[in-house]
Structure 1
Amino acid sequence: MSRLPLDALPEIDTPRIPPAKRRGFATWFASTGWRHLIGVALVIYAAFPLLYVLSASLNPNGTLLSSNGLFSTVGFDSYVRLFDNPQRPFAAWFGNTLFIGLTTAAASVFLGALAAYSFSRMRFRGRRFGLVSLLVVQIFPQLLAVVAIFILLTTLGDVFPALGIDNQLALIMVYLGGALGVNTYLMYGFFNTVPVEIDEAAKIDGAGHARIFFTIILRLVAPILAVVGLLSFIGTTSDFVIASVVLVSPENQTLAVGLYQYVSEEFTSNWSVFAAGAVLAALPVMALFLFLQKYIVGGLTAGSVK
């Protein structure tokens, strides 16, 4: 078989692709540039308060007016003064905040999950009325019941001292009663997304409601548990009104109530110490958010049913 020489092959005209035209600044800004501008503006708007508080905590002068310049002077005198004041025990406030916040978050998640599982998987008389009641109760803010809470805890303290005024357990019970309704309603919607076939398959194998709940359902609803726990922890650690009413003695107070003492009387001289305490108070919330981020981002129900 003879082969044709290369010069005898017919020439094929290939269309030439014209080079891409370089877009001008006006075209780029009209299409995508304005989005970058808005994003940078929002980042600056969100980061400025954080930088200002951090700069104020590192300013050894300690006054409000001298903290206007960001990082003009840097020192750790405010953090030293924060832990060297025996009349204002910051370490005790920090420990009380962690204890109350973590206990309230864990109890809110557990009790809310139990109630949500009951409303989602069981059928009983008064189920619909109970769901509507939980929703209606949340319309009224908890701050409206501050006087009633104070009178109730004062009366209970005469019978059960652990549930009286100036007791951390009493404050935890108040937080649980106020957040149980909304947490249950949030979890109820997420529990309904879990396929019922998983429960039916487990019941065929002889599992009861308790085993299904603790070994199967809790693992599948981990994202909503993480969200509810994080929101409960943030709301508890940042609360001031109810905590200031229930907790009276300085050694039992939380960070929100204790740090207010630095700016309530001498507003200008203790601003740097107050900012240092605020920076340290934000660390547990940030650490908990980073720890629960993997549960918040991804859902665990994918692939659970074959």
Structure 2
Amino acid sequence: MNRTRRNPAGKMKLLLIYIELIVVALIVIYPLIWIFGSSLGSTKGLANASAIPAHATLDNYKKLFQNTDFPLWYMNTLKVAAANMFFGVLLSTLGAYAFSRFKFKGKKASLLTILILQMFPAFLTAIAVYMLFLNFGLLDSLTGLVIVGVAAQLPYNIWLLKGYLDNISTSFDEAALIDGASRTQIFFRIIVPLAVPMLTFVAVLQFAAPWMDFILPRLLISSEEKKTVAIGLFSMISDPTRNDFTLFAAGSVLVAVPIAILYIVLQRFLINGLTAGGDKG
């Protein structure tokens, strides 16, 4: 009898959960469908853009590659993203390993500084970065974008990775040291393989950041040949004499492709990294 009474309430709760999930999914998915549909539109303006265009066409994608510098912007951003990912993961892992495994003077103060630094967005230091790059000749340089991108993410990544490495037992290190392994060998042969889930998560974050960034590239890049995707696409809708919204939508769809592929391919590692880090530290 008790089970009969409980079932309606349980079913209603389950139904409400499913309704909530469907509503959230629609809120997230509909803008993506609308952008993709707009990229297939036959007109240029925002007013006529639609999730289901009346006359769908791939002309916007053709124009993007034939009539604009989109391939150049894409390659510039890809270079910055790849370098950002490589150096960001390398430096973050080395820093986190040092904080996790070694005792040194000023360790707590350094960790507190890193914690405070990660609370401030990178664009707050935009003017200081501009003047610094001006003095060092790094303005209008893809190298400069890599440096500022790695530096901006470093505090957050070090803190995140340190929490993960703290959960890896130091007995691995001690056993390897007894067997005659060096600290470098321990790092690359033991710590790095064990930290693959979190390293993958950090790598995806580092790769995605340049695709999303607009403020710093807009400030630091001035020449046409050094433009990134964000700046190039913005120019399509910011010029009063130009209103190529459907072209902009086509570019936005293509920008999302590499990040979507990364998330799909590395999904297992990303979930492990999200759930395993930050338990200690």
Secondary structure (helix, strand or coil) at the match of 2:168 reads coil
Q: Which residue of 2 aligns with 1:75?
A: 57
Counterpart amino acid of residue 109 in structure 2: F
1:101-112 equivalent positions in 2, closer than 5 A: 101-112=81-92
Q: Which residue of 2 aligns with 1:46?
A: 28
Q: Which residue of 2 aligns with 1:62?
A: 44
Q: Which residue of 1 aligns with 2:70?
A: 90
1:149-179 deviation line (CA, Å, top 9, x unaligned) = 111111111xxxxxx2111001111111111
Structure 1, unaligned stretches of length 5 or more? 1-19, 158-163, 302-306
Determine if the alignment matches structure 1 residue 118 to structure 2 residue 98. yes
Q: Which residue of 2 aligns with 1:297?
A: 271
C-alpha contact 1:64 1:268 (8 A) present in aligned 2: no
Q: Give the stretch that moved more between structures: 35-44 or 46-55.
A: 35-44
The CA distance in 1 between the partners of 2:120 and 2:150, in whole Å, is 16
Q: Which residue of 2 aligns with 1:15?
A: none
Q: Which residue of 2 aligns with 1:254?
A: 228
C-alpha contact 1:56 1:62 (8 A) present in aligned 2: no
The CA distance in 1 between the partners of 2:126 and 2:242, in whole Å, is 30
The CA distance in 2 between the partners of 1:225 and 1:120, in whole Å, is 15
Q: Give, in angstroms, the shift of residue 140 of structure 1.
A: 2.8
Q: Which residue of 2 aligns with 1:37?
A: 19
Q: 1:27 to 1:121 in 2, by over 3 A?
A: closer
C-alpha contact 2:39 2:248 (8 A) present in aligned 1: yes
C-alpha contact 2:236 2:242 (8 A) present in aligned 1: no
Q: Give, in angstroms, the shift of residue 71 of structure 1.
A: 3.3
The structure whose residues are more often helix, as a share, is 2
- Structure 1 runs of 4+ off > 6 angstroms? none
The CA distance in 1 between the partners of 2:227 and 2:18, in whole Å, is 44
Which of residues 196, 212, 229 in structure 1 aligns to 2:170? 196
Q: Give the stretch that moved more between structures: 187-196 or 286-295.
A: 286-295
C-alpha contact 1:62 1:78 (8 A) present in aligned 2: no
Secondary structure (helix, strand or coil) at the match of 1:65 reads coil
C-alpha contact 2:88 2:206 (8 A) present in aligned 1: yes
C-alpha contact 2:198 2:272 (8 A) present in aligned 1: no
Structure 2, unaligned stretches of length 5 or more? 277-281
Q: CA RMSD in A?
A: 2.2
Which of residues 220, 234, 259 in structure 2 aligns to 1:285? 259
- Aligned pair count? 272
The CA distance in 2 between the partners of 1:190 and 1:80, in whole Å, is 45
**Normalising by structure 1, what TM-score?**
0.84
Q: Give, in angstroms, the shift of residue 192 of structure 1.
A: 0.2
Q: 1:127 to 1:67 in 2, by over 3 A?
A: same
The CA distance in 1 between the partners of 2:246 and 2:156, in whole Å, is 37
C-alpha contact 1:150 1:245 (8 A) present in aligned 2: yes
1:105-138 deviation line (CA, Å, top 9, x unaligned) = 1111110000110111111111111111111222
Q: 1:65 to 1:291 in 2, by over 3 A?
A: same
The CA distance in 2 between the partners of 1:153 and 1:247, in whole Å, is 11
1:134-283 equivalent positions in 2, closer than 5 A: 134-157=114-137, 164-266=138-240, 269-283=243-257
Q: 1:69 to 1:50 in 2, by over 3 A?
A: closer
1:45-88 deviation line (CA, Å, top 9, x unaligned) = 11100000000000111221111352332101111111112xx4
Counterpart amino acid of residue 165 in structure 1: L
**Normalising by structure 2, what TM-score?**
0.91
Q: Give, in angstroms, the shift of residue 139 of structure 1.
A: 2.8
The CA distance in 2 between the partners of 1:228 and 1:69, in whole Å, is 34
Q: 1:137 to 1:27 in 2, by over 3 A?
A: closer
C-alpha contact 2:41 2:50 (8 A) present in aligned 1: no
Q: Give, in angstroms, the shift of residue 27 of structure 1.
A: 5.8
C-alpha contact 1:63 1:268 (8 A) present in aligned 2: no
C-alpha contact 2:33 2:51 (8 A) present in aligned 1: no
Counterpart amino acid of residue 122 in structure 1: F
The CA distance in 2 between the partners of 1:154 and 1:265, in whole Å, is 27
Q: Give, in angstroms, the shift of residue 296 of structure 1.
A: 2.1
